[in-house]
Amino acid sequence: MEEKLFPEEEAAPAAKDGKQSRKHGKHRKLKIVLGIIAGAVAALLIVTNVLAMMDRANGTAVEAAAVKKGDITSTLTANGTLASTNTKAYYSPVTASINECNVKEGMFVAAGTKVIGFDTSALEQDNQKAQLTKDASLNGFQDTLNKSDEAASKKADADSQAASCQSQIDADSQQINSLTQAISSRTSLLSSGSALSDPSQDPQIAAWQNQLSTLQSEVSTLQAKKSEAEATSSSMESIILSGAARAQISDNSSLASLEASAAQSQLDKASAGIVTEFDGVITQMNVSNGTAVAQGTALFSISSLNEACVEVSLTKANFADVKEGQTAEIIFNDHTYQGTVTEVGRAASSGTQSAQSLLNSAQTTSSTASSSSSNILATVKITNPDQNLCLGLDAKVVIKTDSRTNTLTVPRKAVSLSADGTFCYIVENGVVVRKTVATGISSDDETEITSGLSEGDQVITTLPDSVSEGSKVYVSSDVSQ
């Protein structure tokens, strides 16, 4: 019995065949498009190769590079000597022997380290002697002052007493004169009058004579007291200090005090020893244990690593390129540091210089030279020093002297110099063309072009001997553009 199909079942295979047919059609179209594209690329390559072969047949291959815009930095490179901007020399503050010296040249010491100690035994004796001398001088001075003041007081009293006696003597002498005259007058009167009388029997004359005798005795006593007071006053004069003598004794006492103070200061300094004021490296040590030193003897020097620098010699050719404030890079023993030019000398020093000469000055090439011309010292301070630095050794310094941004640059070897000026060779329409150019700064690899070329120009970097201006050339495909 034949099986019948439903209408839906008959329609399903037909729909499926239609979808597969459309899918195959799309694949065929894609293959055709891809084939056309591949053919076009192949044709372009063939044409390019043919043109290149034609160029090669008519010219010489040259290496060239495109003029491009970019940033450029010029540098100066030199070898310098590691040093420090803060080096302090220490001198002996006393005359003594050293009994403590535990550091050597090249050692790092921290701030506050006692580097030198002194034997203080002799200074202790000197100080004790000076203190005793001072005390004796002060005591003697005071005793002399006291005696002088006492003598002055006694002299003043004696002078006063002598003056008082003299005053009383003068008064008594007047009375004596008055009485003498009175006795004389009365005696004359009694001897020559109508009533003659014996003066010696006169009661009045007798009374006056008694007064006269008393006064004369008193005057005699006063004169003796006056003489004694004058003798006392005279004896005191040798004890009383004059103004000059008083000043001299005072100066001697002050001198003794100063000497005692100096002796104490010397002892204090020796007891303290020599202590470093900052972290650093001992760059010079002139003494050792047992060394006897005089005051002012140079003991040692210390240099601060925190203020390390590189001292670089500049020549006349590149002196003008280096300015204070420029940044630099310092390379020492595989360590790289940053720095700043802090000082450029203003006086040249003569002497032979054997070192890598400064590089990359404008329009110069690097070289190593020995020059006997005058040099100028520049200081580059290291801004990030550490204890890996070793003062006194050489370090490489790269100073950034100038920079430009978004400027035209070419490879440095593309720039040539002749008596007519600076120029470059470029490839223009397959022909070598010489272009006069003006240059700016240069780096190790590139030179700035300020005029004469345009961005995109092909500058020849290596000109074959067989090629000159006007030669037909083509740019080698092996060099990067």
Cα–Cα distance for residue pair 198/206, rounded to 1 Å: 12
Secondary structure (3-state) at 398: strand
Reference 215, options 164, 182, 180, 163; nearest CA is 180
Please answer whether residues 147 and 239 qualify as being in contact, where contact means their C-beta atoms are separated by less than 8 angstroms.
yes
What values do phi and psi take at 12, rounded to 5? -60, -50
H helices present in 193-308, as ranges: 203-237, 243-272
> What is the reported pLDDT for 478?
55
Instruction: Give, in degrees to the nearest 5, the angle at Cα 415 between 414 and 418.
Output: 135
Q: pLDDT tens for residues 394-441?
A: 999 999 999 999 999 999 999 999 999 999 999 999 999 999 999 999
Distance CA 325, CA 139 (A): 66
**Pick from 113, 111, 93: nearest CA to 101:** 113
DSSP 146: H
C-beta of residue 324 within 8 angstroms of C-beta of residue 44: no
pLDDT for the residue numbered 39: 72
Residue 354, SS3 per DSSP: strand
The residues near 158 (Cβ < 8 Å, ≥ 6 apart) are: 229, 230, 232, 233, 236
Which residues of the chain fall below pLDDT 70?
1-29, 31, 33, 41-58, 193-196, 350-373, 477-481
| DSSP type of residue 468 | -
* Reported pTM: 0.58
80-133: pLDDT as tens digits: 999 999 999 999 999 999 999 989 999 999 999 999 999 999 999 999 999 999
Cα–Cα distance list, 411 to 76, 145, 453 (Å)? 18, 97, 13
pLDDT score of 310: 96
**Can you tell me the distance from the alpha carbon of 112 to that of 272, in angstroms, rounded to the nearest whole number?**
11
Q: What is the pLDDT of residue 455?
A: 95
420: which residues sit within 8 A by CB, 6+ positions away?
Answer: 436
